[in-house]
Amino acid sequence: MADPRPVVRLLAVCESVLTDPAEVGRISLIGLLPWMQPTGNPPYPYLRPVFSLFAQLSECRRDGDVWAEIRESETDAVLHRTRTTRLTFRNEPLAVHNFRFRFKDCTFPRPGVYLVQLWYDNEILGQQPLLLR
């Protein structure tokens, strides 16, 4: 029987992720982003210089490749993808692992719903919708 996939405990799209050097494991998510409202004339295509996806995983029993991507929900087209990172885990299913994926210079072609997805070994572990108005 194959090892189960990691379990997503938390998945959040935010402006930035800060770690506290004085307290190991303390993390602050700044500016949660359930939606974005571009400004400008015209507002689209909209260029977002930077934002992050924060993921907290548990039950990580085996090594795997992980990345994040943004898809347009209507067309399923991949607009952006982070680089793939090989994660190495010991078989400690109760351990909690935190990850940040940073998106830079993302262009959104039109208003609508976009899906920010977390991938692990070619399977979606979780996703968050992101509404652009």
The 10 Å Cβ neighbour count of residue 112 is 15
User: So what's the pLDDT on residue 31?
Assistant: 96
DSSP 76: -
Structural tokens at position 71: 């898809």
Residues 69-87: tens digit of each pLDDT: 999 999 999 999 999 999 8
The pLDDT confidence band at residue 18, using thresholds 50, 70 and 90, is: very high
Residues 24-71: tens digit of each pLDDT: 778 999 999 999 989 878 899 999 999 999 999 999 888 999 999 999
For the domain 7-132, what is the CATH superfamily, name and number? Immunoglobulins (2.60.40.10)
DSSP 6: P
Separation between Cα atoms, residue 47 and residue 104, nearest integer Å: 9
Exposure string of 54-93, with b = 16+ CB inside 10 Å and e = fewer, is bbebebbeeebebebbbbbeeeeeebbebeeeebebeeee
Structural tokens at position 110: 């039109």
DSSP 122: T
- Sorted by sequence, the CB contacts under 8 Å of residue 41 that are 6+ apart come out as none
What residue spans define the domains of the chain? 7-132
1 pLDDT above the threshold of 60: no
Residues 90-104: tens digit of each pLDDT: 878 889 999 999 999
User: So what's the pLDDT on residue 41?
Assistant: 83
2 pLDDT above the threshold of 80: no
Tell me the chain's radius of gyration from C-alpha atoms. Answer: 16
User: So what's the pLDDT on residue 4?
Assistant: 81
